[in-house]
């Protein structure tokens, strides 16, 4: 039995997706032989309620100089983080010569707004290729895995921070206690941590099980985070649901007692009680829904194959790796995946080795059906793919349920 990474109690496993490759591990044919696999399974801690992976690959296997995820590929996400930067600048960068630190700063999608406005800032980003892309935008970046020791170094070199940011990264780091200790060390007494991650409540309500993959060590709720921060003398002072990545939550955290607590925190606590996020039965229901979703998707793809329809994937997302490998979607069922990210093109999807092709291949030779792996960007994609529908193409989605749109 595995112990909870937050409170050391025994975790209750509730779902296994079987043998799984690295979600962002797009590869060339000559790398198939050495492809790395691990057992992807999630569990629930009955004590602190943290949902987490049972086994997680070493960080260096996921985050390195060929990291495939460039944040700025989505214009929607660029707008989202511009909004965040604007809010933070207006509300929290008020001291004399303020300083902002961001972990998982990737290609500078957020910090570039602070750099452009002349604020002192520092990105901490262990994936060298995306860190370099940020530097090219004028964003100061150190290429390191953030933890308490790195926090101490930053404090020595730059002094304390007014704001600490982390988008879609806190849930990636299994040594979360060291990260939170580092954040507390680095923040001024009145400083705030603002971070956002996919929200467990949305995953449960939408059966968006494809959020479960190697990089996501944790699936946060207010309840489990309250437990975590309590241990560090910190507390959640505000929460704000975000309509990105299929449903995220933005949390603002400060030292205990240093700030007023917004009414949104109590409201979310009540919503989580109603959702049963503390109840093991909720996770068993989630597993049943996941299995049903898999069966329905495979039935549909099998039917389309039999009737001779061409199906292509849209968006070689990290999330798609879980769906493709768990369901067993082979290149016979989905002939290729179109994607706009240059580093993924010409490679193969992890595990099932479906070819990943430039977006133009989709545009120039529309399939009959497009399986929307980037379902979290549905609004942006529907807007730009009117021609696909006009040509008679149809979308297949599987979140929140399997259907042809
Ligand atoms: N914040 C961006 C990127 C999210 S992807 C966005 O929301 O789009 C997660 C990023 O976190 C990757 O760029 C990865 O390299 C980085 N990361 C992983 N572990 C980290 C750690 N310990 N410290 C800092 N960054 C980390
Ligand atoms: P995303 O859903 O942001 O993240 P994750 O990898 O965390 O699941 O990934 C979006 C992927 O989809 C990325 O590879 C770029 C691709 N994409 C397109 O090909 N076309 C598009 O219009 C959009 C929005 C994304």
Report the C-alpha gap between 237 and 294 in whole angstroms: 38
For position 75, what pLDDT does the model report?
87
Q: What are phi and psi of 224, to 5 degrees?
A: -70, -35
Report the C-alpha gap between 256 and 233 in whole angstroms: 6
- Answer whether 71-259 and 282-404 agree in fold: yes
Instruction: Choose one of 25, 102, 104, 175 to mutate for the ligand 1 pocket test, by most ligand atoms within 8 angstroms of C-beta.
Output: 104
Report the C-alpha gap between 206 and 224 in whole angstroms: 20
If you measure from the C-alpha of residue 309 to the centroid of ligand 1, how many angstroms do you get, rounded to a whole number? 39
Question: Which atom of ligand 1 is least distant from the CA of 77?
Answer: 8
Report the C-alpha gap between 187 and 308 in whole angstroms: 59
Mean pLDDT of the chain: 97
Question: Tokens 């099980």 correspond to what residue?
Answer: 209
- pLDDT at 379 exceeding the cut of 90: no
| Any atom of ligand 1 within 6 Å of the Cβ of 125 | yes
User: For the domain 282-404, what is the CATH superfamily, name and number?
Assistant: NAD(P)-binding Rossmann-like Domain (3.40.50.720)
Domain boundaries defined on the chain = 71-259, 282-404
- The pLDDT tens digits of the residues spanning 2-22 come to 999 999 999 999 999 999 999
Report the C-alpha gap between 248 and 232 in whole angstroms: 24
Report the C-alpha gap between 53 and 50 in whole angstroms: 10
Give the ligand with the smallest distance to the CA of 104.
1
Tokens of residue 294, six digits: 């898999």
Beta carbons within 8 Å of 366's beta carbon, 6+ residues apart: 387, 388, 391, 393
Third-level CATH fold of 71-259 = Rossmann fold (3.40.50)
CB 325 within 8 A of CB 17: yes
For position 1, what pLDDT does the model report?
79
For position 68, what pLDDT does the model report?
87
Report, as an integer, the average pLDDT of 324-347: 97
- The pLDDT tens digits of the residues spanning 268-320 come to 999 999 999 999 999 999 999 999 999 999 999 999 999 999 999 999 999 99
Among protein residues, the one with the nearest Cα to ligand 2's atom 25 is 315
Question: What is the SS3 assignment for 196?
Answer: strand
Beta partners for 80?
none
């Amino acid at each position: 039995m595995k112990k909870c990474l937050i409170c050391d109690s025994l975790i209750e496993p509730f779902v296994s997706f079987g043998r799984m490759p690295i979600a962002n591990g797009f590869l060339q044919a000559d790398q198939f032989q050495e492809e790395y696999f691990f057992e992807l399974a999630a569990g629930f801690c009955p004590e602190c309620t943290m949902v987490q992976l049972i086994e997680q690959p070493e960080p260096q296997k996921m985050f390195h100089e060929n990291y495939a995820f460039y944040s700025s590929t989505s214009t929607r996400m660029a707008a989202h983080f511009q909004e965040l930067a604007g809010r933070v600048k207006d509300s929290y960068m008020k001291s004399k010569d303020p300083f902002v630190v961001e972990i998982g700063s990737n290609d500078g999608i957020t910090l570039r707004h602070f750099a452009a406005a002349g604020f002192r800032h520092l990105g901490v980003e262990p994936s060298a290729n995306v860190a370099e892309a940020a530097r090219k935008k004028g964003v100061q970046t150190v290429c390191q895995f953030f933890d308490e020791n790195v926090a101490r170094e930053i404090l020595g070199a730059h002094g304390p921070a007014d704001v600490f940011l982390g988008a879609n990264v806190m849930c990636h780091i299994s040594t979360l206690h060291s990260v939170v200790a580092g954040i507390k060390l680095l923040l001024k007494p009145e400083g705030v941590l603002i971070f956002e991650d996919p929200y467990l409540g949305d995953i449960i309500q939408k059966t968006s099980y494809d959020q479960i993959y190697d990089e996501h060590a944790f699936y946060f709720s207010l309840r489990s985070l309250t437990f975590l921060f309590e241990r560090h003398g910190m507390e959640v002072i505000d929460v704000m649901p975000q309509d990105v990545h299929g449903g995220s939550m933005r949390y603002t955290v400060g030292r205990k007692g240093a700030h007023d607590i917004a009414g949104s925190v109590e409201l979310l606590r009540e919503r989580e009680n109603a959702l049963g996020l503390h109840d093991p039965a909720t996770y068993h229901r989630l597993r049943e829904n996941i299995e049903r979703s898999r069966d329905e998707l495979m039935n549909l793809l099998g039917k389309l194959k039999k009737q001779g329809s061409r199906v292509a994937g849209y968006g070689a997302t990290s999330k798609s790796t879980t769906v493709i490998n768990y369901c067993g979607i082979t290149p016979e069922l989905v002939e290729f995946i179109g994607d706009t990210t240059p580093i993924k093109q010409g490679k193969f999807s992890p595990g099932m080795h479906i070819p990943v092709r430039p977006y133009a291949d989709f545009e120039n030779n529309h399939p009959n059906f497009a399986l929307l792996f980037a379902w979290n960007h549905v609004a942006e994609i529907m807007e730009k793919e009117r021609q696909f529908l006009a040509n008679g193409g149809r979308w297949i989605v599987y979140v929140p349920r399997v259907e042809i749109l």
